[in-house]
Amino acid sequence: MLSSMLVSGLITGTFYALMALGLTMIFGVLRIVNFAHGEFYMIGGFAYVLLYHSLGVPIVAALPAAVVAGAALGWVVERLLIRPVYAEMGARQQGRDEYAIIVTFALSILLIAAMTKIVGPWSLQGPRLIDGPPLLIAGIRVSPHQLAALGIALFFLLGTLYLLNYSLWGRQIRAVAQNRSAAAVMGVDVGKVSTIVFATAGGLAALAGALLSNMISPSPDVGAFPAIKSYVIIVLGGLGSPLGALIGGLLLGVIENLGAIYISFSYRDTYGLVLLVVILLVRPNGLFGEMRREV
């Protein structure tokens, strides 16, 4: 029982980490929190489900298409709403934070409302990636679908982390996060990096939405909780720290599952808040404040 809950906690945590990684990358590079992050998740879920059910697109094409939809949305949002402010406001921190919170929160409500108008308020279950009888691995029952979803999530999660640390592209992103002007001096197009990061974050969140659409059917407001959990995770891991997002995600997944056994199942979404309060009390800079730079 305990070990199976631990494993399922780690599985849930992987999907949380997928969302939190993008969020923390956006914070690292742009110093803003994207309050519409849950809606990238939602768009990914719907893109996958609707492409499959309404247009008959096969799963192998619908899944990448969902990722592209999320990335495209991220691209547009950065170019249209975030970029101009950076160009205009420069170093004026206060105006920028204010604008970013208002605009991304409004965007979140707009996307939920628009999606409700388009598809209605109800939820639609996504197709399984693979059909088949559940497998028994080390005493834990998992369906082939869950296994495939987990594999894809892990691949993208670790792949992004690998690229961030070892590719030129990733090191440039970290360079912008650590020191924007020095990155510009050495020839990094800071605006382009910001757009790429927003698009990547959108794509990762959309992937999570699509992969989970079979277990949590997408509805227009489905993104609220994944988003809130990723906010908890990025505070837990340290704002702007990719590794912190991974470990924080896994930790939250495990804690929620343990709470579900030992305290109560119906409140499992609330344990994140308790965790958040504890971190703010004990270690406000998070577990890994690596990329944080005091301005």
Residues that bind other proteins (CB under 8 A): 32-33, 35, 81, 84-85, 94-95, 97-99, 101-103, 105-107, 109-110, 112-114, 116-117, 168, 171-172, 174-175, 178-179, 181-191, 224-225, 228, 231-232, 235, 239, 266-267, 269-270, 272-273, 276-277, 280-281, 284, 290-291, 293
Measured from the CB atom, the residue of 202 and 286 that comes closer to other proteins is: 286
Residue 46 CB, shortest distance to other proteins, in Å, is 17
Residue 180 CB, shortest distance to other proteins, in Å, is 10
Task: Identify the CA nearest to 180 among candidates 57, 33, 293, 46.
Answer: 293
Measured from the CB atom, the residue of 138 and 281 that comes closer to other proteins is: 281
Residue 63 CB, shortest distance to other proteins, in Å, is 28
**DSSP secondary structure string, 187-204?**
T--HHHHHHHHHHHHHHH
Measured from the CB atom, the residue of 16 and 231 that comes closer to other proteins is: 231
Residue 18 CB, shortest distance to other proteins, in Å, is 19
Residue 6 CB, shortest distance to other proteins, in Å, is 24
What are residue 135's phi and psi, to 5 degrees?
-100, 155
Measured from the CB atom, the residue of 156 and 271 that comes closer to other proteins is: 271
> How many alpha carbons fall within 13 Å on the CB side of residue 159?
8
Place of tokens 């494993």: 7
Read off the tokens for 225: 């909780």
Residue 247 CB, shortest distance to other proteins, in Å, is 17
Do residues 8 and 257 lie in contact, with contact meaning Cβ atoms separated by under 8 Å?
yes
Q: State how far the Cα of 121 lies from the Cα of 111, in Å rounded to an integer.
A: 13
**DSSP secondary structure string, 59-89?**
HHHHHHHHHHHHHHHHHHHIIIIIHHHHHHH
Measured from the CB atom, the residue of 143 and 241 that comes closer to other proteins is: 241
Residue 91 CB, shortest distance to other proteins, in Å, is 9
Task: Identify the CA nearest to 174 among candidates 12, 14, 29.
Answer: 29
Measured from the CB atom, the residue of 126 and 248 that comes closer to other proteins is: 248
Distance in angstroms between the alpha carbons of the first and the last residue of the chain: 47
Measured from the CB atom, the residue of 61 and 277 that comes closer to other proteins is: 277
Q: State how far the Cα of 29 lies from the Cα of 174, in Å rounded to an integer.
A: 8
